[in-house]
């Protein structure tokens, strides 16, 4: 809890994505607009669902529209998720595995980082865990209630990040195993039907958006695969090994080469397989095994970057497998095993602790910084309506400044609709600042302009533009 909440406001990220989300969530809280679509994904204009917005909206209200509330919302939900996950692992496997799982997840610097600011992929590790838990309960107990919860969590996970779609393969494999070995196939079909219905209900906003906009999302997704080379080329084995290396190095905050990571993962999965066959623990463990293997394989087929948050769908599955193996190696009577495992766990904690930048590092204060910029602009406002732009075009933090301006009742002219007010504020973070006759359409659309005034806020140069006669 401490690692996820300490100095949260001083370090919480508040850039373009967070500013955009804060503006949308503010409109939900004030009953101004209820979006049927979520944020765009990082690969083309393929939109996620709006679930994340509604999930964290209460926290913005509780914190009186201070956007730090959204960061606290993500942190609190992450903490609660890990606590409940601990009790689930304890119930499904055993106490020692649950304790080791808790250590790995609680002190993972990557999971801690993801829990310390507001962003839709950050909750995927927790939602993926509960997706597989309710799926295992659905299979083992043939429970309609658990099937509905599985469908809901799967749908929510898919709305947090599209890579949750890769859950289909381990779920399909697991379902097939249970379906053909169980004589009562009718109940399995019924639970499958209810899970699909629940998924459909929770995903309805996405379907509604596509129907209303001529299947825009579906067309863009198809375009990604047909025209933008989303399927990676080259050797499949090499891509799998590289994907695995990226996962292992992210989990252990290391820089191991392909050979070491390949051997480590192979040994881990092999030991898990042997132990599981011998001990016959619940199918819950097999699902996490299937997810770890299938996600690594399927993700290796894609040509996208290997950003740490892309592995959100597999982190908790990997930690479940690792905790299970470590706990049973610990139970062996050999003193060498215990000494080696203690050294490895301590090394894990020390290596991850190096990345606890919020303990004694200098705060970035991004929210306070955005508010200072907005406050300086307010002092130069001549009316409530305004246009806004940033330069250069890759400096895209305007949403974070706009949030604080709109919070005080100022109205942003809609650039997409071509709305033009009597004033434009331009924030530039890199000289030369091309203000007049700018190559940026976001600036030039304001029309013929002249500089009314200019000033600096720390590293930013800010211009107030008005129409030239």
Q: What value does the mean pLDDT of the chain take?
A: 91
> What does the pLDDT read at residue 431?
83
Q: What is the mean pLDDT of residues 41-48?
A: 75
The residue whose two tokens read 């976001």 is 442
> What does the pLDDT read at residue 236?
87
Residue bearing the bigger pLDDT, 219 or 229: 219
Lowest-pLDDT range of 62-76, 310-324, 346-360: 346-360
Q: What is the mean pLDDT of residues 433-454?
A: 90
Sign of CA dihedral 326, 113, 132, 240: negative
Q: Residue 309 in contact with residue 122, Cβ under 8 Å?
A: yes
Q: Is residue 135 predicted with pLDDT exceeding 80?
A: yes
Q: Is residue 226 predicted with pLDDT exceeding 70?
A: no
Render pLDDT for 391-424 as a digit per residue (tens, 0 to 9): 987 777 889 999 999 999 999 999 888 899 999 9
d(CA 172, CA 386): 52
Q: Residue 51 in contact with residue 25, Cβ under 8 Å?
A: no
d(CA 230, CA 372): 41
Nearest Cα residue to 108 out of 256, 262, 3: 3
Question: Regarding beta strands 460-467 and 449-457, do their DSSP bridges make them parallel or antiparallel, or are they unpaired?
Answer: antiparallel
Lowest-pLDDT range of 36-40, 153-157, 377-381: 36-40
Q: Residue 48 in contact with residue 120, Cβ under 8 Å?
A: yes
Q: Which two tokens stand for residue 386?
A: 């305004």
Indicate the burial class of 315 (C-beta count within 10 angstroms; 0-12, 13-18, 19 or more): buried
DSSP 267-333: HHHHHHHHHHHHH---HHHHHHHHHHHHHHHHHHTB-S---GGGGGGTHHHHHHHHHHHHHHHHTSS
Q: Residue 128 in contact with residue 164, Cβ under 8 Å?
A: yes
Q: What is the mean pLDDT of residues 339-362?
A: 90
Q: At what angle are helices 335-353 and 95-106 packed, to 10 degrees?
A: 30
Q: How confident is the model at residue 228 (pLDDT cuts 50, 70, 90)?
A: low
User: Residues with Cβ < 8 Å from 158, sequence gap 6 or more?
Assistant: 49, 164, 165, 203
Residue 350: asked if its preceding bond is cis (omega within 30°), the reply is no
3-state SS class at 392: coil
66-75, 393-402, 448-457 — which one is most confidently predicted on average?
66-75
Lowest-pLDDT range of 35-44, 155-164, 235-244, 443-452: 35-44
Nearest Cα residue to 285 out of 96, 133, 95: 133
Q: C-alpha distances in angstroms, 401 versus 313, 378, 380, 456? A: 32, 11, 14, 15
> What does the pLDDT read at residue 91?
95
Q: Residue 274 in contact with residue 268, Cβ under 8 Å?
A: no
Number of helices (H), then strands (E), in the chain:
21, 5
Residues in the chain: 469
> What does the pLDDT read at residue 416?
83
Single pTM value for the model: 0.92
Nearest Cα residue to 237 out of 166, 293, 300, 287: 300
% of residues, the chain, pLDDT over 90: 70
Q: What is the mean pLDDT of residues 260-267?
A: 95
Residue 64 DSSP label: T
d(CA 270, CA 291): 15
Render pLDDT for 174-185 as a digit per residue (tens, 0 to 9): 999 998 888 788
d(CA 74, CA 126): 11
> What does the pLDDT read at residue 230?
65
Q: How confident is the model at residue 124 (pLDDT cuts 50, 70, 90)?
A: very high
Q: How confident is the model at residue 233 (pLDDT cuts 50, 70, 90)?
A: low
d(CA 331, CA 344): 16
Q: What is the mean pLDDT of residues 193-203?
A: 95
Q: Residue 193 in contact with residue 144, Cβ under 8 Å?
A: no
Give domain limits for the chain.
Answer: 2-353, 366-467
d(CA 346, CA 341): 8
Render pLDDT for 361-394 as a digit per residue (tens, 0 to 9): 899 999 999 999 999 999 999 999 999 999 987 7
> What does the pLDDT read at residue 300?
92
d(CA 66, CA 61): 8
d(CA 339, CA 343): 6
Q: In what order do the strands lie in the sheet with 449-457?
A: 411-412, 385-391, 424-428, 460-467, 449-457
Q: What is the mean pLDDT of residues 128-153?
A: 96
> What does the pLDDT read at residue 94?
92
> What does the pLDDT read at residue 196?
96
Q: Which two tokens stand for residue 445?
A: 């659309």
Q: How confident is the model at residue 229 (pLDDT cuts 50, 70, 90)?
A: low
How far, in whole angstroms, is CA 111 from its chain's centroid? 10
Q: Is residue 98 predicted with pLDDT exceeding 70?
A: yes
Render pLDDT for 279-300 as a digit per residue (tens, 0 to 9): 888 899 999 999 999 999 999 9
Q: What is the mean pLDDT of residues 134-138?
A: 96
Residue 469 CB neighbours (<10 A): 5
């Amino acid at each position: 809890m401490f690692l996820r909440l300490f100095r949260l406001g001083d370090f919480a990220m508040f850039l373009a994505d967070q500013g955009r989300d804060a503006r949308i969530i503010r409109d939900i809280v004030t009953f101004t607009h209820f979006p049927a679509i979520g944020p765009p994904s990082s690969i083309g204009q393929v939109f996620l669902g709006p679930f994340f917005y509604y999930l964290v909206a209460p926290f913005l209200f509780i914190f009186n529209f201070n956007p730090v509330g959204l960061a606290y919302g993500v942190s609190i939900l992450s903490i609660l998720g890990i606590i409940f996950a601990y009790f689930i692992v304890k119930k499904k496997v055993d106490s020692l595995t649950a304790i080791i799982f808790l250590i790995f997840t609680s002190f993972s610097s990557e999971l801690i980082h993801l829990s310390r600011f507001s962003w839709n992929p950050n909750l995927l590790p927790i939602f993926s865990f509960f997706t597989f838990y309710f799926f295992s309960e659905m299979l083992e107990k043939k429970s309609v209630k658990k099937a509905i919860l599985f469908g809901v969590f799967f749908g929510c996970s898919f709305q947090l990040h599209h890579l949750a779609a890769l859950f289909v393969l381990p779920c399909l494999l697991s379902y097939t195993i249970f379906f053909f070995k169980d004589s009562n196939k009718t109940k399995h079909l019924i639970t499958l039907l209810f899970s699909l219905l629940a998924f459909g209900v929770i995903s309805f906003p996405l379907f509604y958006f596509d129907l209303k906009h001529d299947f825009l999302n579906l067309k863009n997704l198809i375009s990604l695969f047909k025209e933008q080379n989303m399927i990676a080329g080259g050797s499949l084995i090499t891509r799998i090994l590289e994907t695995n290396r990226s996962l292992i190095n992210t989990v252990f905050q290391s820089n191991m080469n392909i050979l070491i990571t390949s051997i480590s993962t192979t040994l881990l999965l092999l030991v898990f397989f042997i132990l599981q066959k011998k001990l016959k623990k619940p199918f819950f463990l097999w699902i996490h095994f299937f997810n770890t293997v299938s996600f690594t394989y399927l993700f290796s087929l894609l040509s996208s970057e290997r950003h740490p948050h892309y592995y959100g769908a597999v982190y908790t599955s990997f930690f479940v497998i690792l905790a299970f193996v470590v706990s049973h190696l610990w139970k062996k009577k050999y003193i060498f095993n215990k000494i080696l495992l203690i050294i490895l766990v301590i090394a894990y904690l020390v290596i991850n602790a190096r990345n606890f930048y919020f303990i004694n590092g200098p705060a970035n204060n991004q929210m306070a910084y955005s508010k200072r910029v907005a406050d300086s602009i307010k002092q130069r406002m001549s009316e409530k309506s305004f246009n806004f732009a940033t330069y250069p075009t890759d400096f895209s933090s305007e949403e974070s400044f706009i949030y604080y301006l709109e919070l005080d009742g100022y109205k942003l002219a809609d650039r997409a609709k071509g709305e033009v007010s009597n004033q434009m504020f331009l924030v530039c973070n890199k000289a030369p600042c091309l203000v007049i006759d700018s190559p940026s359409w976001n600036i030039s659309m304001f029309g013929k302009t002249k500089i009314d005034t200019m000033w600096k806020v720390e590293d930013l140069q800010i211009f107030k533009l008005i129409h030239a006669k």
